[in-house]
Structure 1
Amino acid sequence: MDVLKLASPEEIASLPRTSWDIQQPGEDEVLEEALSTGGLDLIFVPGLGFDKQSNLSGRGKGYCDAYLKRCLQSQDVKPYPLALAFKEQICLQVPVDENDVKVDDVLYEDS
């Protein structure tokens, strides 16, 4: 997994859609990888479930964990991984193992 540098909302809007209706660059499109251009300050991390200890549950492939580890190894300044969630996604405990990377914070509505 790579995070690509996109310079404008128009550039994002111009990305073709996959069969899953997800916008992403075409196979032959060349874009800069964010880590090669100085890294990232803030990373929004997706997930299916989260706990109050900043653990998250994804789809089990480890793509985000691997990318976060690459960021931590290649940047001088640590990025801030942040998860946005609905309160229904907050669990008492999310099962984790030694390969899982915690986020710095999980933001959700708590009413």
Structure 2
Amino acid sequence: AEDVAQQVFLVAFVHRDEFEFDREDARPWLCGIARNLCGRHFRTQWQIRHLTHRLPPPPIGLRARYRRRQAGGCTASAGTPLRGDMRTVAVTGRDSHPACN
């Protein structure tokens, strides 16, 4: 929320010469800026998701490296023997590993 407020006031400051000072209240102007920023954000997120779905899946080695990195963070507090088993399950994606039984 703080980031949005900062962005709204930054845009308002940059475009302060467009504000009509004869108005009593600046809130409608600021709310319009916030609405436009949110709309732009959601459009950008939609475009990213839409384009990401059109990409081919990453190579298996890259996926395994990503899963290994995720598993490293999740298993940092686990004991050493269990940590290795959990990483193996996370990388291979198999539930038949002895650690899962």
TM-score under structure 1 length normalisation? 0.23
Greater helix percent: which structure? 2
Greater strand percent: which structure? 1
Higher relative contact order, chain-length normalized (CA < 8 Å, sep 6+) = 1
Kindly name which structure, 1 or 2, has the bigger radius of gyration based on alpha carbons.
2
TM-score under structure 2 length normalisation? 0.24
